[in-house]
Structure 1
């Protein structure tokens, strides 16, 4: 069977539905807005306003502003304070003669090992000359043989010895 097309003779213009939504929203918005805003300014309002503003300025003159802190006084005060600080710091200096002899080896070692100073062995070796290196005396026996043997027996296992 052939399909019959029902033709009423009415045609929609080309591109009618392309912008139909925009046109519809514009029409709805125009109808919902009031024709006037409802606010009215009384006649002669701005003429009276200018006159009243001029009258208040003439009646109450602006007082003179006097600054409490002027630039010159602030400069003088800061100069005096700086000179007093300089004098006090010069007077209170003590003649503390700090030397390497007043430092203990333990405090220097704690300073280096405590991650306060970022110094490693190579940095220390670079600072020492040959005379300093010769004057350093190392104890020949830091750990006794008995203590070393006991440590190795307790902490080493056979697998690590075989691997090495």
Structure 2
């Protein structure tokens, strides 16, 4: 799942942004530099969520991202250059984060406590697939096996 996709997703239950957590696998897949696309996306991005995602995937691009989003007008003069050497740091960071960084395995967390698995780069956002805090507590209380790191109830049929 690209970080661009993540930035546009919301919790299907509460309609709130989802934070990336427990990332265990990230791929960087180079794509052609797309300054026009990046400039058009800047106003649509949840900037604080993008910065949190950059930290969650342990990206070194976080240093190039300002605290507040740049205005696309400030970067428009740079859109004609495709030379990687001349790319401003913020555009290079946005290219890397939004288009080239793929979360392969991890979780998406809603501020209300639900979380959704990301497996093979695909987030499972089906409402019935969400793990709710009450289920986690009841699974632990019932003695059902629970993953120690993520506190996700384990499926007894697969033993995973």
**Greater share of strand residues, 1 or 2?**
2
Bigger relative contact order, structure 1 or 2, given CA contacts below 8 A and separation 6+? 2
Q: Give the TM-score, by structure 1 length.
A: 0.18
**Greater share of helix residues, 1 or 2?**
1
- Computing the radius of gyration from Cα coordinates, the structure with the larger value is 1
